[in-house]
Amino acid sequence: MEIKKNFWALLPIFIFLILYLGLGILFEYVLKISMGFYSVPIVVIFFIALLIACLQNKKLSFDEKLEVMAKGVGDKNIITMILIFLLAGIFIGVTGRSSAEAIAYYLLSVTPGRFAVAVIFIAACFVSTAMGTSVGSITLITPIAIMVSKISGFSLSLCIACVIGGSMFGDNLSFISDTTIAACKSQGCQMKDKFRTNFKIALPAALITLILILFLTWSSNVSQIKIPDFKIFLLLPYILVLVGGILGINVFLVLIIGIFAGVICSITYGNISFLELINNINVGVTGMFETIMVTILVSAMCALIRVYGGFEAILFFIRKIFKGQIGGRLGIGLLVGAMNIATANNTIAIIMAAPIAKQLSLEYKIEAKESASLLDTFSCVFQGVIPYGAQMLIAISQATLLGEKISAFEIIPYLFYPFMLFISSLIFVFLSSKKTVLSN
Give the model confidence (pLDDT) of 69-85 as tens digits.
998 888 776 787 688 77
Q: Is the pLDDT of residue 276 over 80?
A: yes
Q: Is 70 within a domain?
A: yes
For the chain, the 3-state helix, strand and coil shares in percent, each to the nearest 5, are: 80, 0, 20
Is 356 in contact with 311 (CB distance < 8 Å)? yes
Q: Is the pLDDT of residue 64 over 80?
A: yes
Rounded-to-integer distance, Cα 125 and Cα 420, Å: 15
Q: Is 240 within a domain?
A: yes
Q: Is the pLDDT of residue 438 over 50?
A: no
pLDDT, position 48: 93
Q: Is the pLDDT of residue 406 over 80?
A: yes
pLDDT in tens, 309-349: 887 887 788 778 877 888 889 989 988 888 787 666 788 78
pLDDT, position 163: 93
Share of the chain above pLDDT 70, in %: 90
Q: Is the pLDDT of residue 420 over 90?
A: yes
Angle, to 10 degrees, between the axis of helix 368-385 and the axis of helix 416-439?
A: 160
Q: Is the pLDDT of residue 381 over 90?
A: yes
Q: Is the pLDDT of residue 436 over 70?
A: no
Neighbouring CB atoms inside 10 A of 226's CB total: 10
Is 186 in contact with 355 (CB distance < 8 Å)? yes
Residue 144: which of 134, 159, 132, 158 has the closest Cα? 159
Mean pLDDT along residues 278-297: 82
Q: Is 150 within a domain?
A: yes
Number of compact structural domains in the chain = 1
Is 421 in contact with 377 (CB distance < 8 Å)? yes
Domain holding 258, by residue range, is 7-439
Report how far apart, in Å, the C-alpha atoms of 244 and of each of 92, 195, 236 are: 16, 12, 12
Q: Is 298 within a domain?
A: yes
Mean pLDDT along residues 177-200: 87
Q: Find the range with the poorest average confidence among 9-13, 47-51, 121-125, 378-382.
A: 9-13
Q: Is 1 within a domain?
A: no
Report how far apart, in Å, the C-alpha atoms of 379 and of each of 20, 103, 318, 346, 351 are: 18, 26, 18, 5, 11
pLDDT in tens, 27-63: 877 887 766 666 778 789 889 999 999 999 888 899 9
pLDDT, position 432: 72
**pTM for the structure as a whole:** 0.74
pLDDT, position 440: 39
Q: Decide which of 194 and 342 is more confident.
A: 194
pLDDT in tens, 202-232: 999 999 999 999 998 887 776 666 666 667 7
Q: What is the chain's mean pLDDT, rounded?
A: 82
Q: Decide which of 361 and 389 is more confident.
A: 361
pLDDT, position 414: 94
Q: Is 153 within a domain?
A: yes
DSSP secondary structure of 126-190: HHHHHH--HHHHHHHHHHHHHHHHHHH---HHHHHHHHHHHHHHHHHH-TT-HHHHHHHHHHT--
Q: Is the pLDDT of residue 439 over 80?
A: no
Confidence of residue 162 (pLDDT cuts 50, 70, 90): very high
Q: Is 2 within a domain?
A: no
